[in-house]
Amino acid sequence: MAVVTKEEMETFFATEFPQTSLEIVDFEKETITIRQQTDDSNLRPGGTISGPTMMALADCAIYIAVLRRIGLVALAVTTNFNINFLKKPQAGKDIFARCHLLKLGKSLAIGEVSIYSAGSEEPVAHAVGTYSIPPNKS
């Protein structure tokens, strides 16, 4: 399987998803970490980071982890996603998602993500997602 570099992934996201503001922080062999800068547009009433913001971050982390291993296959898609919100994220702090793949098969990949507020070691959310990998047309 292909291994994509951090630079190739950043170029892919800049081209295919120019609307995203995610930053790849760590691109290690077994895990990836991405950061989402937050501002008032990411808050919900009560001054916490919104669930959709955290869900999107976790989903993107799994997508990046999968593409890192299979190559830049834009049509790999989420088929299942589950998130547990564990504690209130800190408003005014960026959030980080750390992902590792639990399984990478020919047609499905499963990733696990922990989300953290910047400066905290305690996760604020935990997610597991499954991606469908399109068949290789070679």
Q: pLDDT tens digit string along 18-67?
A: 888 899 999 988 899 999 998 888 888 888 899 999 999 999 999 999 99
Report the CATH number at residue 119. 3.10.129.10
Q: How far apart are the first and last CA of the chain?
A: 13
Considering the domain boundaries, does residue 31 fall inside one?
A: yes
The residues that bridge with 82 in the sheet, in sequence order, are: 128
For the chain, the domain total comes to: 1
| Residue 36 belongs to some domain of the structure | yes
Domain that holds residue 77: 6-132
Q: Does residue 19 form part of some domain?
A: yes
d(Cα 112, Cα 100) in Å, to the nearest integer?
6
How is residue 32 written in tokens? 């990836």
Closest to 68 measured CA to CA, from 97, 126, 26: 26
| Residue 61 burial class via C-beta count within 10 angstroms: exposed 0-12, middle 13-18, buried 19 and up | buried
Q: Would you state the pLDDT for residue 1?
A: 57
In a domain? residue 77: yes
Please provide the size of the chain in residues: 138
pTM (2 d.p.) = 0.93
**Does 70 fall in a domain?**
yes
CB 1 within 8 A of CB 70: yes
In a domain, residue 137? The reply is no
- 1 within a domain of the structure (yes/no): no
